[in-house]
Amino acid sequence: MPRGNPSPKLAITVDADVHKNIRAAAARDGLSVSAWMTLAARETLQRQAGLAAVAEWEQQYGGFTVEEMDEARSRVRAQLQPPRSRRRTA
């Protein structure tokens, strides 16, 4: 009898090129294919939930303005940039 809460298994079929890329990406990230697929699915589900929340907000309050979208893009860009290293000057 298995201990704890075993994860359910899911059998899927993917195109050969997708399979190759998944295996390579999992190896690059140091993850098993199962862990990599779980992470990819979780991120996709979070993104879909976020887009649904935005659509619901826009339906209730109207679309975002150009200025609001520009501000959002700036914030995302800032979050995606690696931190700057500090240089010491003599």
Tell whether the model's pLDDT for residue 87 goes beyond 70. Answer: no
**Tokens at residue 25, please?**
């990406």
* Domain spans in the chain, listed from the N-terminal domain onward: 16-80
Q: How many whole angstroms separate alpha carbon 34 and alpha carbon 18?
A: 14
In the predicted model, what is the mean pLDDT of the chain?
91
The whole-model pTM stands at 0.70
Residue type, 36: W
Helix or strand or coil: residue 15? Answer: coil
Residue with tokens 């890329």: 21
